[in-house]
Amino acid sequence: MLTAYTADQIRTAEQALMARLPEGTLMQRAAAGLAARCAGLLGRVYGSRVVLLAGSGDNGGDALYAGVRLARRGARVEAVLAGSRVHEAGLAALKLAGGRIAGPEAVDRADLVVDGLVGIGASGALREPYATLAGRVNRGPGLVVAVDVPSGVDASTGRVAGAAVRAHLTVTMGACKTGLLVDPGAGHTGRLELVDIGLGAFLPDPDVAALTGGDVTDLLPMPDAESDKYRRGVVGIAAGSQEYTGAAVLAVGGALRAGAGMVRYVGTAEPVAQVRAHWPEAVITQLDRPSLDGVGRVQAWVLGPGLGTGDFAHELAGKVLASDVPVLVDADALTLVSRDAALLRRSAPVLITPHAGELARLTRVPRERVEAGRLEHARRAAAELGVTVLLKGATTLVAEEERPVRVNRTGSSWLATAGTGDVLAGVAGVLLAQGLSCYDAGSCAAYLHGLAGGLAADGAPLVTADVAAAIPAAIRSLS
């Protein structure tokens, strides 16, 4: 599992470690790791043009000392001294190794730019001249390596308040920072690599975590010789309407492809006909009125994809949420609960799966604030609503009160197409029915859904049915 920490947590750990080491040891460890990653990105160091953006803090010192190592390997290294002060020992060592001081225009001819403008303690918008330099770096021709965190990204939250460096590679020291995994900061990070400087024993419980394939393998319920359809999880799906028949088809498909022992689908005539045609495996109850009579026992419900928001949908949602099993609340059902908060007052577990706009409606917060502070608002919603929140986006977050927020790192930008959330709801619903907690079911479903999206797209456009079809391959790839 990849764990991440706030700036305060990192600084406290660094201080504890530095108290046991000779002065400058941590900076030299960081610089060595940074230089090695820069060399790996360049491929050929000798003769390459490297520009160091050195701010006033320790990140500037890391960049200067990394530049010393690159200069010794034959790189033409120039330092742009952007801060009000500079790490004097680092600058002296760079000059001794053949490095030079240059103006901002050096960025325009660089093969590689090392961003050491600000460190993990910075917050808010970049001040000048840093903001202008960040823009110049982003327009320049060179590869960009950020030291610890791209300048302009809040290391603790991922917020980006103005101009910010967009890195091809971020080399982070000691431990991953929360803001590198959470949008919008994650979108500036590029590839992420960690340099071990010895912090491990001094780190507290993580602020954020990201599952790996091995973690998901350990959590997924797998069938054995004694498994039958009931032990494999019976999931109920209340979805679809005359206007949105496809949502029901996709949610049921996601559930079946994810290994449900049985899917009990309930809906009105139009989506029932489509589900029956696409998925003869589903056990179907056609509803003429909003009732669950005769549906049979389920171990979890998926509620909402394409359901509509009228009186029929509201009454059906009330009956599903009055059950004593876990319920995943998605799409139109989120609109219903945003209008009628009493629907969520239940003792059984609830997993909600909103995008930023839906979470904004639920929490009465402007959408732009949710998008700017996704971590904060996912946590707040989990605490205030008493539910587990799966906040969909380029990096999906799973938040539950008093647990580290889980960040999903699988996926493809091609997943940004209508209906993929319906498939995700079906996958997560099966995992709930198989006995996973909302926290684990949401985390594993997001991982598998993202993995399936990458497999289905393979660098090209996809349709949502492709994602459902790729779920078994995603599961198979974990073994």
- What pairing do the DSSP bridges indicate for beta strands 176-177 and 191-195? unpaired
318 is in an annotated binding site: no
Report the C-alpha gap between 399 and 387 in whole angstroms: 9
197 is in an annotated binding site: no
Report the C-alpha gap between 266 and 111 in whole angstroms: 59
Report the C-alpha gap between 309 and 410 in whole angstroms: 32
392 is in an annotated binding site: yes
408 is in an annotated binding site: no
What does the block give as tokens for 107? 């960025």
421 is in an annotated binding site: yes
218 is in an annotated binding site: no
φ/ψ bin of 110: left (φ > 0), alpha (ψ from -120 to 50), beta (otherwise):
beta
93 is in an annotated binding site: no
60 is in an annotated binding site: yes
293 is in an annotated binding site: no
24 is in an annotated binding site: no
What does the block give as tokens for 221? 């319920």
115 is in an annotated binding site: yes
Cis peptide before 129 (omega within 30 of 0): yes
Name 264's bridge partners.
236, 283
426 is in an annotated binding site: no
205 is in an annotated binding site: no
111 is in an annotated binding site: no
420 is in an annotated binding site: no
Report the C-alpha gap between 182 and 207 in whole angstroms: 12
449 is in an annotated binding site: no
130 is in an annotated binding site: yes
138 is in an annotated binding site: no
Phi/psi at 78 (5° precision): -125, 145
Answer positive or negative: Cα dihedral of 181, 185, 191, 193.
negative
440 is in an annotated binding site: no
**What are the strands, taking DSSP E only, across 300-374?**
300-303, 327-329, 350-352
319 is in an annotated binding site: no
228 is in an annotated binding site: no
119 is in an annotated binding site: yes
Angstrom CA distances, 295 to 267, 298, 301, 324, 350, stand at 11, 8, 12, 15, 21
Q: How many CB atoms lie within 10 A of CB 294?
A: 7
Which among 82, 159, 150, 84 is positioned nearest to 124, based on CA atoms?
159
215 is in an annotated binding site: no
Max CA separation in the chain (angstroms): 83
| Size of the chain in residues | 479
46 is in an annotated binding site: no
Would you list which residues are annotated within the binding site for AMP? 392-396, 421
Would you list which residues are annotated within the binding site for (6S)-NADPHX? 58-62, 119-125, 130, 148, 247, 306, 355, 422
Would you list which residues are annotated within the binding site for K(+)? 59, 115, 151
Would you list which residues are annotated within the binding site? 58-62, 115, 119-125, 130, 148, 151, 247, 306, 355, 392-396, 421-422
